[in-house]
Amino acid sequence: MLLHRSNLKSQEIELEAKKHYEDALTRAKRDLAEREGTVSRSEQRFEQFRTEELAKLQQERNAVKSSRLSIERNEKSLEKLKTEYAARLNDAVRIVEGVAGMTAEEAKELLLRQVEETSRADMAHIVRRFENEAKQEGQRRANYILAQATTRYAGEFASERLINTVHLEDDELKGRIIGKEGRNIKALEMLLGVDIIIDETPNTIIVSSFNLYRRAIATRTLELLIEDGRIQPARIEEIFQRVSEEFDDAVLREGEETLVALEIGTMHPELTRLVGRLRYRASYGQNALAHTIEVAHLAGIMAAEMGGDALLARRAGLLHDIGKALTHDQNGNHVDLGVEVCRRYNEDEVVINAIYAHHGYEEVKSVECAAVCAADTLSAARPGARREVLESFLKRVSEIEEIASEKPGVKQAYAINAGREVRVIVNAEVVTDDETSLLAREIAKEIEQRVQYPGEIKVNVIRESRAVEFAR
């Protein structure tokens, strides 16, 4: 019974599987027929497309062949026309040469010469016009930049002297400072490197030295000795060492504060210390640090107006006279010393160029350097910036007038504007208008060679002719 049921079950399964197989076979045949139909239709479309493309290609080939034949015919016609044109041109040239009596080369040379002469005159006129326009525009721009820079910064007037004074509460302190047989004052002068002048001036001691740094240390040392009351060689040396260390720290702080005020950024500590040392250096009564700060401000403003790097211009302006902080301690001029120390600490080439160029050692190579040179001249030459010895000033003014008066045709010469301008009046019957420019240039050159002066001197030659008659 069980076997019979199993056989029935297996037959059912076999029938079911056969049914599934027949269904799958039917579906596969149907899919195959559909795909064959699709492929057949694709082949028909492709064959139709190929036939159309071949027809188009054949048309294009025919068109290209036709165009080539047309071009060949045109080229042949063009060559024929060129030959006819050349023949007629030669005939025309021979006719013109016969009429004009010159060859074609001679005619060409004559024509080119005439065109060149006409063009030269036109070019000279254009060049003059553009030069005048450029000069006027450059003058206006320069005046604007200088005005912007100078009105936005106001510097101090010259205030440095060669002496400092120390106030005493009692004149008896003078004797203690001098010491027995001058022992104390000798120790002071030898250690401090200054001259200490004690005279009849009440309650005052004078400290004299050209070195502002040593003079400032000496002044502070004397003030502390007077406060302490114990004035003897050993105490003098002790206080001097303490004050020297305090000044060394103060110099570094001064340099750091200057960098912060100018917003320059970081700088090597040794350069920062030298910037602070400029506080104790002066030229013609103008403090070197105040001068460099003023130059840095002016250079930054002018560089910004001219599209340059204002920060780099301020840095170059601050360091352009850095060598002056070394001239009291090392041999050499401040330009070479400044370049050496800036190169040692890898400063920018613009800074090096500014150090060289502001004294004419090198040509200006950048906008920032030009701004520094202009700012240096402004700072040094403005009224009140520097103070000179009266005798040297009078000698310079007299020499300027003498140079101008020696020239032939000069009637009078006056040095005005504190010696920064010489006004020369010439005889109109002897000197022509054209000669006035030459005379001004000769006077300026001779002043440059014979006279030492800060800034620049303007030579103004005036020629005036007058006709006078009286009505009676």
Q: Which residue has the higher pLDDT, 111 or 12?
A: 12
- Choose among 330, 171, 167, 177: nearest CA to 239: 177
- What local confidence, expressed as pLDDT, does residue 158 receive? 38
- What local confidence, expressed as pLDDT, does residue 34 receive? 87
Mean pLDDT taken over the chain: 79
Q: What is the dihedral of CA 8, 13, 19, 20, to 10 degrees?
A: 170
Q: At CA 375, angle to CA 372 and CA 379, rounded to 5? A: 135
Contact 380, 386 (CB under 8 A): yes
pLDDT band at 39 (very low <50, low <70, confident <90, very high): confident
Superfamily name and number for 163-249: K Homology domain, type 1 (3.30.1370.10)
Q: Which residue has the higher pLDDT, 152 or 75?
A: 75
CATH number of 253-381: 1.10.3210.10
Q: What's the pLDDT tens digit per position in 347-376?
A: 888 888 888 888 888 888 888 888 888 888
- What local confidence, expressed as pLDDT, does residue 394 receive? 64
- What local confidence, expressed as pLDDT, does residue 125 receive? 67
CATH number of 390-463: 3.30.300.20
Q: What's the pLDDT tens digit per position in 290-324?
A: 888 888 888 888 888 888 888 888 888 888 888 88
Whether 144 has a pLDDT exceeding 60, the answer reads no
Q: Give the residue range(s) of CATH 3.30.300.20 domains in the chain.
A: 390-463
Total-model pTM: 0.48
pLDDT band at 197 (very low <50, low <70, confident <90, very high): confident
**What is the per-residue burial (b if ≥16 Cβ within 10 Å, else e) of 68-83?**
eeeeeeeeeeeeeeee
Contact 184, 221 (CB under 8 A): no
Q: Give the residue range(s) of CATH 1.10.3210.10 domains in the chain.
A: 253-381
Q: Give the residue range(s) of CATH 3.30.1370.10 domains in the chain.
A: 163-249
